Structure formats: C-alpha cells, structure tokens
Amino acid sequence: METSGGGWTILYATSGGDNQQPMTGDVEVLGGNPLAYQPYNHSRAFKALLSGLGGEGLIRRSSGDVWIRFDHAPFDDQLTMANKHAHYPVKLTAKDGTTADGFTGWANSNIAGGGDFNVSLVDGMSCNNTNTANGVDHHSTQYYHLNCGCTRHYLYSYSNGAADSDASYKVNTGLGNWTATATCASTEGGGLALYLAVR
C-alpha cells in the first residue's frame, strides 16, 4: 500500500451495507477484498495483537478517496476482554495535511445501536447541555461511544433501526478534505465504505 507512506495492515473493512460486523466485532470475515471495501474483519485477538505492535491508525473511505490518520493504534489488549471501552488522545491528520487534536475510542459492549468506534474532536458541548470527556459523552448504553446528536465526531457509528450490534459509519464534522457525510443518521446500512488499518 502507498496510503500515507504505506506499511499499513488492514484490520477491518465495510461496504457500508447492513448486517456487517462493527470495528470491534469478533467474528472473522476474511473472504472479501478489503482494498475494494468488501466486508472484512479480523478477530479481536488479532486486532489487539497488531495494535500492540503498531503506533498509528488510519481510516480510508472510498467516497472521495480520502483518509484520516491518528497517532495511536486503534485498539489495545482490553479489546479481548468483556465489557470494555477505551479512549486515546490523538493528533489527527487528513489526507490534505489538515491537522487537529482529538480523540479516538472504542467499546465492545453497549453497542446494540452503534457507538463501537469513534474519532472525535477535543472536548466540548454535545447536545442537551452534555459535555464530552475524552471525546464522548456516554449518554446511552445502546451506543456507548456515540455522542448525543452525533455531535463532535469525525467518525461515528450509528445503526439503531434494528439495534442488532451491526455497524454503519458516517462523518458529522469534517477535517480538511475529510468531509462530513451525515449530521446524525441512524439508518440500517447506507454508511461509508471504508477500511481501518494499523502500522
């Protein structure tokens, strides 16, 4: 791969359709081509192992052929444990060189309606006068890493029509050429085609 200097290992990919594993999912889906944004997912143990060896994460989406990079691995070894979540302060860089401070984070439980993975702005107000802490406000146990109103997210997961713990990823707030796609959409499917990688 040549994306942002190359050397990446893809951990996860989605076409954006319904009934696909979330980024924190544990069911292996290894038959598709992740470079073509076909459904693809490694086990939690594999994602934790590769994250432990890496120091950066990257999300690349097919629409507009853009990416956003962060200076922390996507996961840690807690991903393999039950009922865990994590937050990481990061420096974010978009493909066009625009940078910002922010947070990435994940949850492997309380994700029936989404909220399994987030890339978020620095802390501030979400909705209902709720403040975020480490990027998220934890306002719901149905989508733990999804802010109220989907606010303050460079990437969010929200798929609450059936509340069946699948994933649909969208962008509320843009960073450079990483543009917004949906202010707050909870539809099943209809998300971004993208992949998550580590190096």
Q: What are residue 124's DSSP bridge partners?
A: none
Give me the pLDDT at residue 87, please.
Answer: 98
CA-closest candidate to residue 153, choices 189, 116, 187: 116
| Residue 36 CA, distance from chain mean position | 18
Which ranges constitute the DSSP H helices of the chain? 44-53
Per residue of the chain (199 residues), what is the pLDDT tens digit? 789 999 999 999 999 999 999 999 999 999 999 999 999 999 999 999 999 999 999 999 999 889 999 999 999 999 999 999 999 999 999 999 999 999 999 999 999 999 999 999 999 999 989 999 999 999 999 999 999 999 999 999 999 989 899 999 999 999 999 999 999 999 999 999 999 999 9
d(CA 114, CA 117): 8
CB 113 within 8 A of CB 123: no
Give me the pLDDT at residue 15, please.
Answer: 97
Give me the pLDDT at residue 65, please.
Answer: 87
Domain boundaries, the chain: 7-198
Place of tokens 């909220």: 115
**CA torsion, ordered 20, 24, 27, 29, to nearest 10 deg:** 60
Instruction: Name residues whose C-beta falls within 8 Å of residue 194's C-beta, 6 or more positions apart in sequence.
Output: 13, 14, 16, 37, 59, 60, 61, 62, 169
Tens-digit pLDDT profile for residues 112-127 = 999 999 999 999 999 9
